[in-house]
């Protein structure tokens, strides 16, 4: 009895059941990291599903941002799994990198074709120009090429022309920064839209772009009548 009493009264002593820095403690840390990576990866996947199924509009930048979070967690998960298993699944790193490379290719913004002029007449628009001229203009050009239907004369400001305008006025990065993180229903949406509209409306047209627009407008006038008014659509 005295021995038992002595054991409970020696309050300044504590003998751990195991070494706090032992291998099993390290392995438990890896296991916790694995669970955390799995949880966070599932959360990022749920966010991507919400973007897709919610019916709300979203941008490629929104998807890319969430994907970066997802891949970061997948990386952590793979690392934790290999730490747990003494690198038994080391090839998962290569597989993850291969998948990441493919997805980044899909998420990469379309490359602007600078071989197209900044302004192109509808009848001169190439067949595979939807990404550079917009779907409406590309379809009108296709109707004119492939059917007997009457298509009114017109012209298109291509993506390279739009890019030229933004860069000449140093608005390209500003537009990206202003729109970053905005979503439908955001209380700041109207304010940001009005601000960008004002900046664009007050920006100067580069001389070559202004000259091209005047040339193509005159071509429409020559095919119709002086002073004709144009309908403008955007894509």
Place of tokens 């941008």: 59
Same domain flag for 63 and 132? no
pLDDT of residue 77: 92
E strand or H helix at 50: helix 23-53
Domain membership flag for residue 101: yes
Is the pTM higher than 0.75? The answer reads: no
Does 57 share its domain with 132? Answer: no
Residues 140 and 214 in one domain: yes
> What are the tens digits of pLDDT across the range 95-109?
999 999 999 988 887
- Establish if 192 belongs to a structural domain: no
126 and 88 within one domain: no
pLDDT band for 16, please (50, 70, 90 cuts).
Answer: low
Q: Pick from 85, 107, 129: which residue ends a domain?
A: 107
Is 143 found in the same domain as 102? no
Q: Closest Cα to residue 95, out of 66, 114, 75?
A: 75
**What is the number of structural domains in the chain?**
2
Burial of 231 per CB tally in 10 Å (0-12, 13-18, 19+): exposed
Same domain, 98 and 125: no
Closest CA to 178 of 199, 204, 203, 158: 199
What whole-number distance in Å separates Cα of residue 120 and Cα of residue 129?
Answer: 11
3 located within any domain = no
What residues make up the domain containing 102?
22-107
pLDDT band at 1 (very low <50, low <70, confident <90, very high): low
Do residues 91 and 127 lie in contact, with contact meaning Cβ atoms separated by under 8 Å?
Answer: no
Residues 127 and 94 in one domain: no
């Amino acid at each position: 009895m005295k021995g038992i009493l002595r054991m409970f009264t020696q309050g300044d002593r504590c003998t751990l059941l195991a070494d706090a820095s032992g291998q099993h403690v390290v392995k438990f840390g890896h296991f916790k990291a694995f669970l955390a990576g799995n949880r966070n990866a599932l959360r990022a996947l749920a966010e991507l599903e919400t973007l897709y199924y919610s019916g709300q509009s979203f941008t490629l930048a929104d998807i890319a941002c969430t994907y970066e979070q997802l891949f970061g967690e997948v990386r952590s998960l793979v690392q934790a799994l290999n730490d747990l298993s003494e690198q038994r699944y080391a090839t998962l790193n290569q597989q993850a990198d291969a998948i990441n490379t493919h997805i980044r290719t899909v998420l990469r913004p379309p490359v602007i074709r600078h071989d197209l002029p900044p302004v192109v007449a509808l009848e001169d628009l190439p067949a595979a120009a939807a990404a550079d001229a917009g779907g409406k203009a590309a379809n009108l050009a296709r109707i004119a090429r492939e059917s007997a239907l009457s298509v009114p004369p017109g012209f298109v400001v291509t993506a390279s022309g739009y890019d030229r305008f933004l860069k000449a006025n140093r608005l390209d990065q500003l537009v990206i920064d202003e729109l970053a993180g905005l979503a439908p229903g955001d209380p700041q949406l109207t304010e940001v839209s009005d601000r960008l509209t004002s900046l664009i409306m007050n920006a100067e047209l580069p001389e070559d772009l202004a000259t091209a627009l005047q040339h193509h407008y005159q071509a429409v006038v020559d095919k119709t009548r002086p002073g004709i008014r144009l309908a403008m659509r955007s894509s």
